[in-house]
Amino acid sequence: MTRKELRQYRSIVAEIKEINKTIRENTVHDTVTGSDKNYPYIQHTMSVEGGTRETEVAYAHCQVLKKQRDNIKQWVDSIPDSLTRRIFKYKYIIGNRKMTWAMVAKAIYPELNRDTSIHQIADTLRKNHENYLKNL
């Protein structure tokens, strides 16, 4: 796993949401009346839905993105060391926005409240992250 792939996680999640919204907006839902193929030919209502070729392409692209998202998440979840795994989760997976190293330090060690110690811990966490990627 590369840093570039890890950094794409949040963007992939956002793109999946956008594509799902587009698919929902471009899919037609309706009901029709039909009957059974065999006797006694009972009439009933059926739901139908469909989309354009663009909807099918968007769905296929969404499946590719979901696979990428799941691969990144599985890789992070497979990190054996608990602290390192938490560093990667906070840095790349958890939340809607990119977290700074100070934010990661505060998330992992919420009891810290002095700026100097937060920045020292943040630097230690960053080095742990860099060493883990370097040793792959």
For the chain, domain boundaries: 1-78, 80-136
The amino acid at 115: D
Residue segments in the chain with a per-residue pLDDT below the cut of 50: none
Which residues have C-beta within 8 Å of that of residue 108, sequence separation ≥ 6?
A: 83, 86, 87, 90, 121, 125
User: What is the per-residue pLDDT for 117?
Assistant: 84
User: What is the per-residue pLDDT for 36?
Assistant: 83
Could you tell me what percent of the chain has a pLDDT over 70?
98
User: What is the per-residue pLDDT for 115?
Assistant: 65
Per-position DSSP letters for 22-50, written without gaps between them: HHHHH-EEEEEEEE-SSTT--EEEEEEEE
User: What is the per-residue pLDDT for 26?
Assistant: 85
Phi, psi of 114 (to 5 degrees): -95, 130
What would the pLDDT profile of 77-96 be if each residue is shown by its tens digit?
999 999 999 999 999 999 77
